Amino acid sequence: MFFTIVFGDNQEAFVNSNCKVLHLLNYIKKLANLNEKESQIDIDLADFNGEVKNLHENKFNYGSNFLAAKEKYILVKIEHIRSDGKPIYSVLLNDEQIINEEFLTKLNSVKKPIGKGSQLKSQQKQKSSHISPAQNSLRAISSKPRNASTASLVDSDSTTNLKI
């Protein structure tokens, strides 16, 4: 699953999210040419509505659990943590059409962070739970216990059990 990050002076990069967030964030830092001092900062991604994806809190999960395919995300830097435990973000994109007062307000508004049970992950589970009747019958047949005297042959049209 690929997505696009937007950063700097309207630079864009096409990135694969099918890896652990830790590696994804390190790769994004290299893409954004963050110097040695800046490479130690924490970064995250936000959608164009100003909703931060909280990747920095899920470094050992896969990026594809939090980032939608073919979407664009804005690179943000975590400045520091407020007394209530919520981070303050600054945007690493120079585009006044996108980064306006409304975006910045949403970006730093107090909201519950997206965790392991993210909305994207639950949507993906719902999609994968829709199984056709043929797939369901194959699943039922393949889950039956087998012994040495029975072999199961499965093709796309029918299921046949043969005695050996």
pTM, two decimal places:
0.66
pLDDT at 37: 65
CA distances in angstroms from 159 to 70, 86, 131, listed in the order given: 39, 56, 18
DSSP secondary structure, 102-157, as one string: HHHHHHTS--PPP-TT-HHHHHHHHHHT---HHHHHHHHHHTS---TTEEEEE-SS
- The angle subtended at Cα 82 by Cα 64 and Cα 31, nearest 5°, is 40
DSSP-derived 3-state class of residue 159: strand
pLDDT at 47: 95
pLDDT at 80: 77
Provide the CATH topology of domain 2-125.
Answer: Ubiquitin-like (UB roll) (3.10.20)
Distinct helix (H) and strand (E) counts, the chain: 4, 7
pLDDT at 129: 47
CA 65, 67, 68, 71: dihedral to nearest 10 degrees? -170
Paired with 108 in beta bridges are none
Please compute the mean of the pLDDT values over residues 44-55 and round it to a whole number.
94
| Token pair listed for 30 | 């290299």
Half-sphere exposure of 65 (CA within 13 A, CB side): 16
**Residue 17 and residue 24 in contact, taking contact as beta carbons nearer than 8 Å:** yes
| Confidence tier at 150 by pLDDT (50, 70, 90) | very low
Q: What digits encode the pLDDT tens for the residues 96-143?
A: 889 999 999 999 885 554 444 444 544 444 444 445 444 544 444 444
Please compute the mean of the pLDDT values over residues 8-23 and round it to a whole number.
94
Domain ranges within the chain, ordered by starting residue: 2-125, 139-163
Tell me the C-alpha distance between 150 and 147, whole Å. Answer: 6
Tell me the C-alpha distance between 28 and 30, whole Å. Answer: 5
